[in-house]
Amino acid sequence: MDKAIYEVVKKALEESRKRNFLESVEIAINLKYVDLADPKKRINEEIALPHGRGKEIKVAVFASGDTAYRAKNSADLVIPPEEIDKLAEDKRRAKKLANTYDYFLAESALMTKIGKVLGVVLGPRGKMPKPIPPGSDPTQIISNLKRTVRARSREKRTFHVPVGTRAMKPEEITENIEEVLKKITSKLEKGTGNIESIYVKTTMGSAYRLEVK
């Protein structure tokens, strides 16, 4: 465990005032020397945290038959194929669905149709479904997604990534941060050389700077 990260996390937790709701803990990453006008240079990664988010992550699955049956005990919502056209006709309901659930999965056979009729709603939110291979059990995929965060810079050089909540131990948050930074630096051309600064903060708390190594 990185002691420097741990000390900053501990300080962020101890010095921010307690609130009457469960605050998230996040890191803010500021990039440099990256041409974010080029979509290929942008960060858009899903990262499985060793200790999870510390809060409920909702997963919805587009499926039928055996896949739907297997998914029902682990997914938060199972959407049958006949609902896809209904959602396409009711944009308000489709947007509410997209905003309510963090991740979507879909049987491979449904991916093309979902892309055509719901892509306009799910795409901009970065929530296009991940395909479930034919005959596979979605249970493990759902389990992994429930401890996954999305790091997405879009065209902005500063972006935020949730790494836990105040209910978690600082050691757990530290190890989550280490995993996020490892994944993001591996995607940058110059690694940490493309990171100008990193800050740790709770939802309503002050930001504390991490030294970039």
Strand locations in 32-138 (E): 44-48, 59-62, 77-79, 103-107, 130-132
Mean pLDDT of 111-119: 94
- What is the per-residue pLDDT for 56? 87
Whether 17 has a pLDDT exceeding 90, the answer reads: no
CA distances to 8, 47, 64, 113 from 178, in Å: 13, 11, 38, 38
Which domains are present in the chain?
Answer: 3-54+149-210 (3.30.190.20), 59-145 (3.40.50.790)
Assign 95 a pLDDT band (cuts: 50, 70, 90): very high
Instruction: Please name the residues in contact with 83: beta carbons below 8 A apart, sequence gap of 6 or more.
Output: none
Whether 77 has a pLDDT exceeding 90, the answer reads: yes
What per-residue string of b and e applies to 28-49 under the rule 16 or more CB within 10 Å gives b?
bbebeebeeeeeebbbebebeb
Q: Which two tokens stand for residue 73?
A: 């005990």
Assign 212 a pLDDT band (cuts: 50, 70, 90): confident
Beta bridge partners of 158: 30
- What is the per-residue pLDDT for 137? 87
Q: Are 166 and 22 in contact (CB under 8 A)?
A: yes
